[in-house]
Structure 1
Amino acid sequence: MKRFLILALATAPSAALAQPVLMSAPPVPEARVAMEVFGKCAVERRPGEAVRLLKMDFTSTAYRTGLRKLSEDVARDCARRSFGAGVMRSSDLLFAGAMAEALMEAEAAPLNARLVRIAASPVKTFSATDAVAQCLARSLPDQVAALFGTRPGSGAEEAAAAPLAEVIPVCARAGGVAESFELTVPAVRAMIATAAFRLLANSGDANA
C-alpha cells in the first residue's frame, strides 16, 4: 500500500504541484476486504438509508449520526458475515466508500460511461478533498472504474491508483484548493467512491 502526500497549495508555484510524494504505509488487505463486504451487506439490508446518507453533507452531525446508526443497525447480520467473530473497527470514510461502491456496482450500465454522461453536471462539494475527488471522477472515468474493479489492498489497486494520484495536484489547482493534506490509497479510493456516487445521484442519473 502507498500513502500520497499531496502538496496542493493554490498559490504555490506550479513546480510544487508536479507530483505527489508516495510514502509507505502498513498493508491491511484483510481488513479492507472485510470492510468491502460489510458495506455491501449494509446496502443490501438498508439500501434506501444508504442512498440517503451518501447524498448528504458528510461534514454534518446528522450524517455522522446516521452513518453510525446504520452501522449499528446492520452490525448483527453484517459484521459476522464480514469479520466472523471479530469486531469491526474502521473509519466513517471507508464504510461510506464501501457502500458507495456497492451501490454503483449494482447497476448494469458501465460506470465510466455513466460518469461521462454527467461530467458537466453542477454538484456541490463539501471539502477540499471532496472537490479533488469529484474532479477525478469527472476527468478520469475510465481510471476511476478501473480502480473500483480491483481488490482492496492488492497490488492491482495500487497500480490503478497511480494514474489518479498523478492528476490530484492538477485537480487541486483547478479547484483553488489552498490546503496541504496527506492521503492513503484506501482514503483516496473511498473519497472518489463517495464523490462519484453523489455526482451520479444528484445529477439525476437513473441508475444511481
Structure 2
Amino acid sequence: MKILLVGGTGLIGQEVQQLLQEKLINCIAPGRDELNLEHPESIDSSLKNYQPDIVINCAGYNDPVKAENEPSKCFRINRDAMATLADCCNRQNTTLVYISTYRVFDGIKKEAYSEKDIPNPSGVLATSRWQAEQQISERCPRHIILRLSWVISYKRTNLLKYLLDQISREQEVAVVSDQQGCPTPSEDAARVIVAIIQQLGCGAEPWGTYH
C-alpha cells in the first residue's frame, strides 16, 4: 500500500506517520509548500504525482473563534478543499480517510452521540466540518469518516496540555462550565486509523462514518 498523509505535522498526523513507519507501510507526507488545501490545483497534482492507494486527511481549519471572523477561509479549507480531494480520490479509485469532529453536533444531547444521530452544527467551523462530511459522502463512495472529540497529547498545544501548564505555573485557569468532551489521546487515534488501514489492505470495505 501507498499512503498519502495530509497534515503530517499535526497532533494526529505525527502519530500516524510514526506508526506507519514502524509497521513498514509506505507513507508520503508532503509539506504545505507542496500540498496546500487553499490551492485546489496542488491537491490534484499531488494525487496524480504520488498515485496513493489511500489518502488520510488530518489537516483542516480548527480555530472556532477565528472562523467566525474569516468564514470564507474556513469554508475554503474545510469544505471546498475536501470536495476537491474527494473528487480526486474518486477519479483515481483511492480510498479517503477523513478525520472529522464532534463539533458537527450541537451538544444538547445529554448522552453520548452515536453515528445514527443527525448532525446539527452551530457556528462557522462546525458547519464547515459537517458540509465537508457531506461533500465526501456524495463524491467519494470509498470513504471513511472518523469523528473525534478532544484530542490530547503532551506534544504541541491542546486543551489538556494548556490546563496542566497553567496549573503547574500556579496561574489562574479560566474555563467554561458547560462543555463536555471525551478526551482522546492522539496515540490512540493513530492506532485506530492505522488498524483501519491494515483492514483495508486485507480487502475489508468498512465504508461510512464512525465515532
TM-score, length-normalised on structure 1? Answer: 0.30
Q: Which has the larger radius of gyration?
A: 2
Return the structure number with greater helix share.
1
Question: Which protein has greater RCO, CA pairs closer than 8 Å, 6+ apart?
Answer: 1
Return the structure number with greater strand share.
2
